[in-house]
């Protein structure tokens, strides 16, 4: 019943936008939106960083606009990064904007604001922005966009295909027809036939959109004590290989934590135990003490976590070595994706 009511609301809202009764507003420069159609993690943040970095390398003045879910004051506009340095912590920014600010240090302005129209206009005038990347904005239709990219997690594409709160869909599957492109993420954790079937299912909904396939690859390990906006990793391939031999407890607060654990297993890390926390969770010192107690009971010598988690751990004390696992987004055909993005951007820019 609740899903039916939610569906009526979403369909009505989208219909009002389609008919022009609700208006979308331009930010005055090209806009690329990256979002999803489900709740939970779909690998969206690495794609936002990938696209923003690509635009930066093409000489653009890039601004990432994010709502900043879970931050202390959701009504306040926060300049997370000014293009040169990170200005606030994760509690003020929200974990995802902060992570993006760290990843894109020196390459992009990052702003957290629920009102992305006002924030975009402000950022364009203040910093001379030439392109915006909207984080988690497929449903945020008040901002007019030139490219709508939707991420779909290969390991759990659409759940039970039911709307919230019964399922994980933010809106009906047929609304994927709005997407300009779809990036299937975490394909490396699935069989090839599953990916083929998923591409076919998506094509039935939207026969015109481009479909790209990507996976994750662990690229680096950084000691948590060295993990900051300005730190450069001193880890070597030999160090990473040694860490895979150590018994580890892996923990995270992600939308789909099992994907992180499975990625570690597939890359031969020796997991003695795993612990998951709610998505966007902010850790307390007591959490670390409990984790280390479990680690000792399981014989784990080190702790492993993600970059998204690391930004919320820097003020906490650890007795066991804790390493931040960094992952790269890897496309099956990166050149084609880059070319597609470049062509769309050129069209948007006239």
pLDDT at 243 over 80: no
Q: Beta-carbon neighbour count of residue 342 at 10 Å?
A: 13
Model pLDDT for residues 23-68, shown as the tens digit of each residue: 999 999 999 999 999 998 899 999 999 999 999 999 999 999 999 9
Query: In this structure, what token pair is assigned to residue 305?
Result: 């976590």
Give the burial class of 160: count Cβ atoms within 10 A of its Cβ; 0-12 exposed, 13-18 middle, 19 or more buried. exposed
Query: In this structure, what token pair is assigned to residue 104?
Result: 């894109």
Domain 2-215+330-348 has CATH 3.40.50.300: yes
| CB contact at 8 A, 311 and 90 | yes
Kindly state the percentage of the chain with pLDDT values over 90.
Answer: 85
| CB contact at 8 A, 3 and 165 | yes
* 217/290 Cα distance (integer angstroms): 29
> Looking at the whole model, is its pTM more than 0.85?
yes
Residue ranges of the domains in the chain?
A: 2-215+330-348, 219-327
pLDDT score of 350 = 67
| CB contact at 8 A, 114 and 74 | yes
Query: In this structure, what token pair is assigned to residue 18?
Result: 């389609």
Model pLDDT for residues 158-200, shown as the tens digit of each residue: 999 999 999 999 999 999 999 999 999 999 999 999 999 999 9
Domain 219-327 has CATH 1.10.760: no
Q: Do 219-327 and 2-215+330-348 fall under one CATH topology?
A: yes
pLDDT at 231 over 80: no
* 58/47 Cα distance (integer angstroms): 17
CA-based radius of gyration for the chain: 20
């Amino acid at each position: 019943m609740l899903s039916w009511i939610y569906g009526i609301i979403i369909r009505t809202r989208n219909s009002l936008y389609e008919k022009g009764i609700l208006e979308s507003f331009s930010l005055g420069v090209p806009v690329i939106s990256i979002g999803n159609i489900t709740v939970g993690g779909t690998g969206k943040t690495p794609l936002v960083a990938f696209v923003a970095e690509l635009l930066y390398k093409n000489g653009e003045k890039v601004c990432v606009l994010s709502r900043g879910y879970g931050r202390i004051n959701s009504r306040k506009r926060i300049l997370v990064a000014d293009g040169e340095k990170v200005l606030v912590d994760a509690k003020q920014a929200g974990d995802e904007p902060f992570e993006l600010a760290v990843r894109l240090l020196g390459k992009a302005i990052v702003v957290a604001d629920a009102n992305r129209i006002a924030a975009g206009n402000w950022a364009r005038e203040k910093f001379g922005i030439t392109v915006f990347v909207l984080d988690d904005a497929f449903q945020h239709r008040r901002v007019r966009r030139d490219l709508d990219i939707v991420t779909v997690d290969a390991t759990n594409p659409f759940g039970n295909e039911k709307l919230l709160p019964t399922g994980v869909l933010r809106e009906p599957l047929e609304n994927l027809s709005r997407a300009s492109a779809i990036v299937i993420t975490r394909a490396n954790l699935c069989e090839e036939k599953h990916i083929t079937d998923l591409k076919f299912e998506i094509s039935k909904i939207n026969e015109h959109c481009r479909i790209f396939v990507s996976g994750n690859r662990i690229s680096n390990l950084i000691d948590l004590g060295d993990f900051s906006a300005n730190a450069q990793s001193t880890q070597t391939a030999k160090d990473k290989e040694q860490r895979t031999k150590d018994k580890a407890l892996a923990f995270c607060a992600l939308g789909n934590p099992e994907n992180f654990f499975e990625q570690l297993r597939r890359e031969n890390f020796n997991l003695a135990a795993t612990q998951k926390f709610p998505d966007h969770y902010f850790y307390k010192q007591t959490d670390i003490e409990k984790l280390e107690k479990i680690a000792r009971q399981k014989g784990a010598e080190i702790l492993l976590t993600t970059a998204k988690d690391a930004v919320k751990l820097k003020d906490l004390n650890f007795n066991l070595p804790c390493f931040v696992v960094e992952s790269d987004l890897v496309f099956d055909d990166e050149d084609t994706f880059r070319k597609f993005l470049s062509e769309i951007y050129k069209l948007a820019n006239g």
